[in-house]
Structure formats: C-alpha cells, structure tokens
Structure 1
Amino acid sequence: MMSKAEIYLSVDIEASGPVPPEYSMLSIGACIVDDIETSFYEELKPISERFLPKAIKVVGKPMEYFAEHGKDPKIAMEKFKTWIESTTAEKTPIFVGFNAAFDWAFINWYFHTYSDKNPFDIAPIDIKSLFMGFEGCHWKDTRSSRIPDRFKGPLKQTHHALDDAKAQAQIFERILKHAQDRR
C-alpha cells in the first residue's frame, strides 16, 4: 500500500493549548512510519505566555522548562525541515498523524511563520479517520484507548511527542496491513 514515490512520516506535537499562535507548540516528534528509529525530536521556546493547565499537565513539564530549554521556533522549524528533506530524499513527504487536525494546525502554522514553506504541502493523513473508514465504526471509537490491540504495536502513547509519533506509526502500519489483508 505504500508508494515508492512517497514517504510517510508520523508526526506528533505537544502544545500549551488548542490553537496557534494563541498557544505554543512545545515539542515535535517525528519518525519514518516503517523505520521508527529514523526520528526527529525537538523542544521549542513558547511564543505566547498563554497555556491551559490541563494541556501543561498532559505535557508533563512547566512552561518555564520550555522557555529555558526550548529552541527558538525559527531554528527548530529549519532543523525539522532539514531533517525532513534529508530523510525523504527524492520522495514526497506525507504527514501522518493521530488526530492530524490538531498536530497539522501547529506544524503548518509554524512552518509558514518561521520557515519559507511547509514541506508536507497541504494534505495530512489522519489515522483516526482512516481507522473509522476501514472499520466502519463511530467517531468515538477512534480514540486510542478504544482501538483494538491488534492495531497497536508494543510502543505506547505517553504524551511525549517522539514516543507518540513512534506509537502512532505502528498503528498506521497495522491499519494499512489490515486493509491489504481484506483485499
């Protein structure tokens, strides 16, 4: 099911709230879907002081940590773009996310604000939507806690951007395998 002209990159972010630029992207994790050890991780300095306490609780580190240890967003996004370009070579990078609408909004906004372009272009793949289409389930059944274990790999989603990127890459691969087996 994977194209030789495309390369699927699982991407996850952690943020201080629901939308950029009112809230900050605090970390980016990414990996190649079928080679999760080829990965990228970066923490970013906040661009806003705004945060939701429940978002910071999920992230597990205070905003002050990211202000002190995070990279400037321009440097972080250029580093991410360089990693994408060097990892994908001549292939088209395809953004894959679990609840891609959330992660995509931050990645797209940050690339267009702090870099010259978004290397993923305009169309991410959402794993939740893919699962719903293959299984014919309800949207509420696409939560990671409700996806059957046969679609999950050994890695767990921990709300660390790289851990989650790797775990969701395994889910994506297994859904694609399931789709091939049904043909």
Structure 2
Amino acid sequence: MKEEIYISTDIEADGPIPGPYSMLSFASAAFTADKRMHGTFEANLETLPGATEHPDTMTWWQSQPVAWQACRSNLQPPDVAMQKYLNWLQALPGKPVFVGYPAAYDFMFVYWYLINFTGKRPFSHAALDIKTLAMALLKSSYRGSSKRNMPKHWFDKNLKHTHKALDDAIEQGILFCNIWQEIRAKKK
C-alpha cells in the first residue's frame, strides 16, 4: 500500500461556493508525515463564465490589496490548471490526502473544480481538517480550537498567513505536521 502524502491546500475565491462564484487561486504543498515537503503547486485562475462576485467577499478583498493583486496575475483557464494539478498529484510519491484549514471550504472548491474540469477525484473523499485534529489533541471544543488558542510551538514563526494561496498552504502544512507529530509522540 502506498504511503499517504498530505496535500495542504489553500484556495482564494470571490464567493462562498463554487459554481455561482469562482476559485481565484489555489495552491498545495505536499508533505509526508515526517514533515518533509515533496513539492508545491499553485495556479491563478480565470473566473468561471457567468459567475458573479459575492459582495461580502469582495468587501473583504478590499482589505487585502496585495493578496488580491497576487491572485489576479498570470491567469490560467481552469480546465488547463486543473489538468496540470491532477498530473502533479498523480506524480507524487504517495496516496494523496487533502489537508485544509478549514477543509470543508477549501476541499469543496478543489473537489468541484477537479470533477468539473477533469472528471477525476484523486482525493476520493479524503479531506482532513486541521482544526478538528487540533480539537482532538487539545481536548477542546471545535470553536475553542482556533489558531489563537493553539500552542505557539505548533507554528513556524517564519511563516505568516498572507492570504496568498501558496504561502498559506505551506504555513498550514507545517501546522498540520507539527500537530500530527505531537499526536504520534503521545502514542509512544
């Protein structure tokens, strides 16, 4: 059986759901459980034909001009980007498990785009939520397991959450690996 490879993924969008709204950019960083990164993928996407922008999301984007500019440069058609992403996933040395923060939001977009533009589901339904993993380790409520309540040693102080998809995918991947390593250490 192939070893699992954890695909920490972050997306940026112009609305709350795929289809009526577009995924603007996404990035993934592939990690094995020992915290080794095996590569990254990123793409900025053209918007979907006929899609609109959600006013609340666009108001939020106004507070993030650097991230907005970053996700609106070097645009690719979604069908081209998703095929490249599928090829990248399939070339990785392991069975991919999607990792997100929050997984429900990011996975929804990535899964919809993969199905819509490639017809494939390389993750099957394997989506791991970092906050849920933290909740179990902290023995806390879900809402009480936010980043501000997580131990500082779970974070790499050199990585910042910038709302640029690749930065955030790497930051979240390191967070996942640190939590996972602590869980595994407690099992010994």
TM-score, structure 1 as length reference: 0.87
What do the CA deviations read for 1:96-144 (whole angstroms, capped 9, x no partner)? Answer: 1111000000001001101121211112000000100111112223222
Name the residue aligned to 1:160. Answer: 164
Whole-angstrom distance in 2 between the partners of 1:22 and 1:96? 24
Name the residue aligned to 2:44. Answer: 43
* Aligned length in residues: 177
1:117 aligned onto 2:120: yes
Residue identity opposite 2:74 in structure 1: H
Name the residue aligned to 2:68. Answer: 61
Name segments (4+ residues, structure 1) moved above 6 Å: none
Contact 2:100 2:128 in 1 (8 A): yes
Instruction: Pick closer, same or farther for the CA change 1:145–1:70 going to 2, 3 Å.
Output: farther
Whole-angstrom distance in 2 between the partners of 1:54 and 1:37? 36
Q: Is the partner of 2:11 in helix, strand or coil?
A: strand
Q: Is the partner of 1:19 in helix, strand or coil?
A: coil
Name the residue aligned to 2:77. Answer: 72
Residue identity opposite 2:76 in structure 1: K
Q: Is the partner of 1:145 in helix, strand or coil?
A: helix
Structure 2 gaps of 5+ residues are none
Name the residue aligned to 1:7. Answer: 5
| Structure 1 residue 152, shift from structure 2 partner | 0.8
| Structure 1 residue 37, shift from structure 2 partner | 6.3
Name the residue aligned to 2:98. Answer: 95
Whole-angstrom distance in 2 between the partners of 1:55 and 1:73? 23
Contact 2:138 2:145 in 1 (8 A): no
Residue identity opposite 1:162 in structure 2: L
Whole-angstrom distance in 2 between the partners of 1:40 and 1:5? 20
Of 49-58 and 23-32, deviating more is: 49-58
Name the residue aligned to 1:19. Answer: 17
| Structure 1 residue 181, shift from structure 2 partner | 2.1
Contact 1:45 1:69 in 2 (8 A): no
Contact 2:38 2:92 in 1 (8 A): no
Instruction: Pick closer, same or farther for the CA change 1:115–1:4 going to 2, 3 Å.
Output: closer
What's the % identity of the aligned pairs? 32
Matches for 1:136-155 after TM superposition, within 5 Å = 136-154=139-157, 155=159
Please, what is the CA RMSD of the aligned residues? 2.1
Residue identity opposite 1:24 in structure 2: S
Name the residue aligned to 1:31. Answer: 29
| Structure 1 residue 80, shift from structure 2 partner | 0.6
What do the CA deviations read for 1:24-69 (whole angstroms, capped 9, x no partner)? Answer: 101111111233361111100011232322342347326xx73x73
